[in-house]
Structure 1
């Protein structure tokens, strides 16, 4: 393969995507692409349910477009803490039909078509665990996140995962504490490397 292998990590808010992405990137000496919700000025209003859903999604789309256009091509691996299909999970959930139509028109005009992951890692955890992690990390813009919205997000992710057609590694992070347990982290890294070897053969 002449381009880098792309490993993307997906899953609902609080599943551990960014933590795992950082650890994999350090282990594989990979280029790292991280979503930056703190740079999205519209996200706090959206979480407070005071509007801004379309602006929020468009801001993320522009951010992702910029990140993937700037992705280095001289590293064997690129690790991202989101998949290139993330808007397909969120926009039907957050936008009205007219807003969704406009979003898709703008996306088409931007020619947003980054290369899909060679390996997707799908993280999930019980809803209560996700809520606990979101509260414990104390990001101000997440503290107004409604529990019913989080449940809808998790369901949307699970529905999307069932239809995902490419190679995917499923991990329940409610049962695997790779943040605090060194053994869990080592086993997870070994598992990812094993699946990468299969793809690279």
Structure 2
């Protein structure tokens, strides 16, 4: 299963993860795994009052992502079928560390470790990052009601946390391919040439997995 492509696209809110995952899964004919977002019944309340609703929100995401990844492991990766995902479960720790109080974080981390001990690790991560202005504009453009209360300060903290975690993964997993895409420079939704540039980078990493 190690050499079966399991590509995850990661980055902060509003960066274009799902859009890129759809385009790449179509191009490569890989199974598309999309995270559950709007179905989270606590998310709207969370953006209004993070302190009060953070634990419920993170636990919903953790349990649903665990179920999705367990299904992917059994039905696709173990059968030799490649997967393109617009998230990985490790993002739970990025968000939880920012939003949970210390006592709830201890409980959450214990549950996270139990659930993820045998979860498949991606062998390629496409990391999207951009300026806060770019992300805020994209969030506004897609018009999700549940995201109307997102603050720029929260996005700034989240972007910093993502950068730290991706750097950690790069150091701790030398065999993991990480492709960094600057969303301020590359707009793969508007420009086909930018998408083709990303495909070339992915092709190069796929050859290393073969």
SS at match of 1:170: strand
TM-score in terms of structure 1 length = 0.93
Aligned-residue RMSD, C-alpha: 1.6
Residue 174 of structure 1 corresponds to which residue in structure 2?
184
Distance 1:171 1:142 in 2: 23
SS at match of 1:177: coil
Residue 18 of structure 1 corresponds to which residue in structure 2?
18
Instruction: Tell me whether 1:90 sits opposite 2:100 in the alignment.
Output: no
For the 8 Å contact 1:15–1:124, the answer to whether it is kept is yes
TM-score in terms of structure 2 length = 0.89
Distance 1:99 1:2 in 2: 34
SS at match of 1:70: helix
Residue 206 of structure 2 corresponds to which residue in structure 1?
196
Written as runs of structure 1 = structure 2, the 5 A alignment for 1:95-174 is: 95-110=100-115, 113-165=118-170, 166-174=176-184
Residue 110 of structure 1: CA displacement? 3.6
Give the helix-richer structure, 1 or 2. 2
Distance 1:46 1:2 in 2: 37
Deviations along 1:85-115, one digit per CA (max 9) or x if unpaired, are 1112111101011011111222344455311
Deviations along 1:91-146, one digit per CA (max 9) or x if unpaired, are 11010110111112223444553111100111001111001000111000001111
Q: Which blocks of at least 5 consecutive residues in structure 2 are unaligned?
A: 171-175
For the 8 Å contact 2:18–2:86, the answer to whether it is kept is yes
For the 8 Å contact 1:34–1:82, the answer to whether it is kept is yes
Q: Which blocks of at least 5 consecutive residues in structure 1 are unaligned?
A: none
